[in-house]
Amino acid sequence: GAPSLPATLRWIREAAEDPTADLAVDIMEVGITYLCSTLGTTRQVPPKVAQLRQGVLATLRDAGKEEFATKLSEAMTTARFLQELDEGSKRLSITTQPKEGMQRYVSGILGKITVWPMRRGFLDHFTQAINGEWDPGCFLEHGGLQLLASWFNDGPDKLDQEWPGAVEALGALVGIAALTAESASEHLPMLYNLAYARLGSTGAASRQLAARIDSAMVQAVEKQLKNQAAKQQGIPEILQRFTKLPGDNGQRFRTTQEVLEHVQATLKLLADGRDDWSVQSWRDAKHEFGQNIARAASGSTVNINEIAWKALSQLEERMVRAIDGKFDSNIARALEQEAKEEAQRKQDATKAWKDEFATRLRALSALAPKGQLLDQTRSGVEALVTAITDVRVLAKQEGSLTTPEVAVALKSAEVACKRYCEHPERRNRQKLWLKQQGFGHCEQLLEANDLLDCLGHLADECRGKKQLPEPWCAAGLPLRVQDGLFRAALSGKLRRNKFDILDNEVPHGWSRVFSNNVGLHYFRQLYGEGQQWEWPTEPEPAATINEPAPPTQDPAATRLLEKDLEHWRSLTNIAQRLQKQLEGMGGESVGGKPAQASEGLCFAWCGEFAAEVASFAAPSDIRSRFWHGVVKPHMDVEDTASALIKAFSAVREGARSHEPVPPTTTHSATSSSHSLSGAAPPSKSASGLANALKLGEQLLQRLNRDGRILKPGNAGCTEVVALLKDLQVAVDSCTHEEDARIKPAKDALVRGRDAVLRHCERPARERMSAKWLRRHGLGHCAALLEDGALLDRLEDLAKAPSLAEGLGMPRSCLTRLSAALGDGRAAADALALGPLPVGWETRISSSTGLSYFVNKDGAQRWDRPAPPDDPEEPLNFPAAPFPTSSFGSAGLGSTADRLVPPSDLCDEAAGPEHLRGTKHSGTAAEWKELVKRAEPLLQEMQQGPSTRGQQPPTRRSALQIAWRGELLAAVRNKGEGSSRQVPARIEAVFWHRVVEPCIAPLGRVSKSM
C-alpha cells in the first residue's frame, strides 16, 4: 500500500539532510509530488503532518531546495485552506461573512490568495454558495466579482480540461455580473472573452454557459433599451462594449446598435415636425426607414429564434413597430388634414342647402312636438304629410335619412300622424272593452282625467302593487270598478297591446296602401274612389246606464207592501254603501277638481248605482219603483263629489219616505236600526254601535280557533251567513265618528267571510287534495285526513306536520306525505283551485259581500262547484285462494309462528321429506320475506294507543282504509326499488292469515265504550 503522509515527510526530511546521497533528489521530488497529490485529493492536513511541516520546510531550505520547500508549503497551505472551507470556517466561508466585514474579507483574505489551487478551491466554494441562494449583493459591491474575474484571467489556458467545475464557476460569476447594469457592462464582456478563450465549445456544459452569458448580456441591453429616454440619448455604453465582442455575438449587438441608431434618427425627424409634408412624403420616409432596418438585420448570422436572442429581436421589433406607428399616425393626420380640406370645400358648397333643409326640419318638428299632432284636424294632418314628404325628398337627395336628427323628427312626425289617424279606432276599442267588463258608465270620467288612453299601460303600472296607481284612485272611480280594473291588469285581461292596431289589420271594405314618399299607410276603398289617412271607423255608441225598466204604475201612487220592505231596505243600503265610498275617497277632494276634469263623475256613480240595483235579487217591479220613483229624481246633479253625496242622502230619505209609517208606540232601537237611511237619530247612535259589536261577538262564538264554522254541515254556514247580513247592515248604519270603535265588529265581519269562503270551498279543495294524494300513492290516507279536517288543509300540513300526529296514521305515510309536500310551495300550485266548470260564473252578494255561484240554468249555490273527479281505481287486494274460514285467525302471534308458513301452502303432504325438500325451503324463504316487509307496520299498529276502539265509526273505518293500503304497499314492496315478487298464492295466504286479522280490531268498538 501507499505510505502514510507522516512517513513520506520523514523520508523527504532524511533525503534533505543528506542531499548528496544517491537518489536523495529523486526521493524528495517523488515524495513532494505524492504529498501534494494526496493533500489535493483529501483536502485535509492530518495533525501529525502539521507538526512536521516546519521542520521539513527548514531542512529543505537548509539543503538549498527552495523550490521543493515552496511547492510543499503551497500544497499544505492549500489543503489546510480547503479543509477549513469544507468545515464551514467562520473566518474563511463566504456565507458566514457579515456585511460590515465583507470589505476586509475581500481585500484581506481573498486578496492574499495567489496560488491557483487555493483560488480554484475557493471558486468551487463560491459556486456552492451561489447555488445555495446566498445573496451576493454585498460581495459585488466591495469588488469581489472583479477579484474573482481576475483569478480566471490569471488561471491556466484550458480551464475545463484540468478543472471540471470551471464552467459552473464561471456561470456563477455571470449570474452575479448580471445583477446590475454597471456590473454587467463592466464584467460580462470580460467573462465572455474568458469563456471564449479559456473554455472549449463542444461540451454541453460549455454550450449552456455560452447561452447563459448570451442571455445575461441580452437582458442587460434590454433593460437599458426599454427606457424611452435612452432611445433618444445616444447609444448606451453597455451596448457599445458588447459590440466589441468577437464572433457572432459582437456582430449581433452591432446590428442592434445600427437599428437603435436608425430609430433615434427617425425619432429626431418625427420630433422636428413636418406639418407641411404630404401623405406621400410620410409614406416615402417610412419606406426608407424600413429599408435601413432590413439592411442592418441582414448583417447578423445569429439564430434569432434562440431563446437567448429572441428577447433582443422582439425588443427591436417593438421599437420598429413604434416608429411605424408614429409614421402611420402622421400619415393618418395628413390624410385627416386633406380630408378636412376636402370636407370644408364640400361644406361651403352645401351650406345654403343645409340651411334650407334645417328650416324645413324645424317646421316639421313644430307641427308634431313630442309625437303629438299640433293641429288635431284633417287640415293639420295634410300639412304634416306635406312637410314629411318635403323632408324625406330633400334628405334622400343628400343621403341624410339616417342622421339622428332627421330620423327623430321623421319618427316623431310619423308617430303623431299614425296616433291621430288611429285614435278614433283605438278609442272605440277602449270603450268597447269597458262595456264588456261592465264599466262602460265610467268612460266619460276616465276620459276627463286623461286615463282612457292609459288603459293599455295599466298592467305595467300595477305590477308589484296592491292597488291601482294614485291617479286612478284619485279619479273618483267606484270601488267595484277600481277592483275590477286592478284584477284585469294583474290577470292579463288588460295588457299593453290590448288596444294596439296591428300593421296587417285592414278595415272591412278598405285596402291598406303604403306611401313611399311619406312612409305611412293610407286607406283606399275597395269599391269606390275614396281614400284617406284616418282609420275608417264608425264611432262607438255612447255608454248608457242600464237602468231598470219603467214601472207600469205611478211609483208615488203605489203603496209599498210589508213583504217588499226587506228588499226595499236592501236597495236603500246600496245607496248608503256608495255614499260611504264617496265619503271615504275624501268627499270634496274629488269634486273639488275643475268642472271639465270631473266630467262624467255623476254619470259614473249613477251607472254604478244602476248596475248594483239591476244585479240585486229583488222583484223587478220593486227595482223599477225604487229606481224611477226614488233614484232618478235626485241623481241629476253636477259632477262634484259633494253634490253626489247629497244626492245619495236624498235618495235614502226619499226611500224612507216610501216605507209604511209604523205605529207611534213602536219607535224603538230595533225599528230605527232598520230605517231606510241606516242612520239612527242621535240618541240612538250608541245603540246601533252596541248592536254591531254584539252581532260581531255572536259571529265569533260560532267560529273555532282555526277560523272554521263550529256547527257542522250547511246549517252552521246558514247561521253565519244570516249573522253576516245583520252585521253588515249594523256596521253600515254606524256614523263616521264611530269608525275607531267599530273595528272589532269589522274584524269579525272579515273573519266570518273567510270562514264561509273556506266552508264553501272545502268540497272542491278536498276533491283536489284526494286526487293529488292518489297521484303520490297516498290515496288510502284521504279518508283519514278528511275525517281529521285536514284534507283541505294540506298546505298547512306542510308547514306544521304535527297537525296529523293524533290521527293514528302510519308513520311511513306521514314521512311520504311530508316528502311529497316539501316546503308547501310546489304542492300549493298543484292543489290550487282551477277555473269553474263550464256553465258556472261567480257573483258578489250585495248584502254580505260574499261570492256565490250561478250556472247557465239560473241555479245558485254557495258551495264552489268542482270539476268532475277522475274515477278512483280500487286497491288490488289479494284474493283468498280458498274459503277464508280455513285460514283461522293467526294474526301476529309469536315470532316462531310468523316465520313458519302453513303446512298446506305447498300443496303436498307435510311430512318429514317435504319439510326437508327444496320446495318447502323456497316457500319458507318467500314467507319470511313477506314477514320482513310487513312486520314493522304490524308492530306499529299493535303498539298503537288503546283509545282507537273508542273513536267514532267514521274514524275507525278511515283507520282501516289507511292501514290496509299502507300494508298492501309494504307487502308488495312498492317504493323500495326491489324487483323481487312473491308468488300470488303465498301473498294471498299471508294477507288473509296474518294481515287482515291485525287490521280487523281497528274497526271494532272497545269494551270500555
Cα(469)–Cα(458) distance, integer angstroms: 8
Reply yes or no on whether the pLDDT at 695 is more than 70. yes
The beta strand positions in 435-587, using DSSP E, are 510-515, 520-525, 531-532
Reply yes or no on whether the pLDDT at 615 is more than 60. yes
Mean pLDDT of the chain: 78
Output DSSP code: residue 881. Answer: S
Give residue 946's pLDDT: 60
Amino acid at 995: V
Reply yes or no on whether the pLDDT at 401 is more than 70. no
Q: What is the pLDDT of residues 49-95, one digit of tens each?
A: 888 888 888 888 888 888 888 888 888 888 888 877 788 888 888 88
Give residue 907's pLDDT: 57
Which range, of 122-126, 298-302, 323-327, 768-772, averages the lowest pLDDT? 298-302
Sorted by sequence, the CB contacts under 8 Å of residue 416 that are 6+ apart come out as 367, 368, 371, 372, 373, 384
Place of cell 317435504: 914
Question: Are 633 and 582 a contacting pair, CB within 8 Å?
Answer: no
Sorted by sequence, the CB contacts under 8 Å of residue 358 that are 6+ apart come out as none
The H-assigned helical ranges of 132-203 are: 137-141, 144-154, 159-162, 166-177, 181-198
Q: What is the pLDDT of residues 10-57, one digit of tens each?
A: 888 888 888 888 788 888 888 888 888 888 788 888 888 888 888 888
Amino acid at 580: K
Burial 963-980 (b: 16+ CB within 10 A, else e): bbbbbbbbbbbeeeeeee
Please enumerate, as own/partner, the contacts of 736-745 that have beta carbons within 8 Å and a separation of 24 or more: 736/583, 738/685, 738/689, 741/689, 742/689, 742/692, 742/693, 744/693, 744/696, 745/692, 745/693, 745/695, 745/696
Q: What is the pLDDT of residues 645-686, one digit of tens each?
A: 888 888 888 888 777 654 433 333 333 333 323 333 333 345
Which range, of 87-101, 302-316, 477-491, 528-542, averages the lowest pLDDT? 302-316
Q: How many C-beta atoms surround the C-beta of residue 864 within 10 A?
A: 20
pTM above 0.75, yes or no: no
Overall average pLDDT of the 258-269 stretch: 84
DSSP strand pairing (520-525 vs 510-515): antiparallel
Give residue 213's pLDDT: 75
Among 962, 924, 972, 955, residue whose Cα is nearest residue 941: 962
Overall average pLDDT of the 187-195 stretch: 75
Would you say the C-alpha torsion 676, 681, 687, 693 has a positive or negative sign?
positive
Give residue 665's pLDDT: 36
Considering only residues 562 and 549, tell me which one the structure prediction assigns the higher pLDDT. Answer: 549
Q: Among the ranges 220-229, 548-557, 814-823, which has the highest mean pLDDT value?
A: 814-823
Q: What is the pLDDT of residues 502-525, one digit of tens each?
A: 777 888 888 888 888 888 888 888
Reply yes or no on whether the pLDDT at 954 is more than 80. yes
Place of cell 254541515: 713
Give residue 825's pLDDT: 57
Which range, of 156-165, 786-795, 933-942, averages the lowest pLDDT? 156-165
Overall average pLDDT of the 943-967 stretch: 79
- pLDDT tier for residue 1 given thresholds of 50, 70 and 90: low
Give residue 913's pLDDT: 64
**Residue 71 CB burial class (10 angstroms; 0-12, 13-18, ≥19):** middle
Task: Using alpha carbons, list the distances in angstroms from residue 894 to 721, 900, 970.
Answer: 58, 10, 20
Question: Are 659 and 638 a contacting pair, CB within 8 Å?
Answer: no
Instruction: Show the CA angle centred on residue 695, arms to residues 691 and 696, nearest 5°.
Output: 115
Give residue 670's pLDDT: 33
Please enumerate, as own/partner, the contacts of 700-704 that have beta carbons within 8 Å and a separation of 24 or more: 700/748, 700/751, 703/751, 703/752, 703/755
Cα(26)–Cα(19) distance, integer angstroms: 10
Considering only residues 905 and 977, tell me which one the structure prediction assigns the higher pLDDT. Answer: 905
Which range, of 175-189, 365-379, 663-677, 701-715, averages the lowest pLDDT? 663-677
Overall average pLDDT of the 267-294 stretch: 85
Considering only residues 761 and 895, tell me which one the structure prediction assigns the higher pLDDT. Answer: 761
Considering only residues 288 and 86, tell me which one the structure prediction assigns the higher pLDDT. Answer: 288
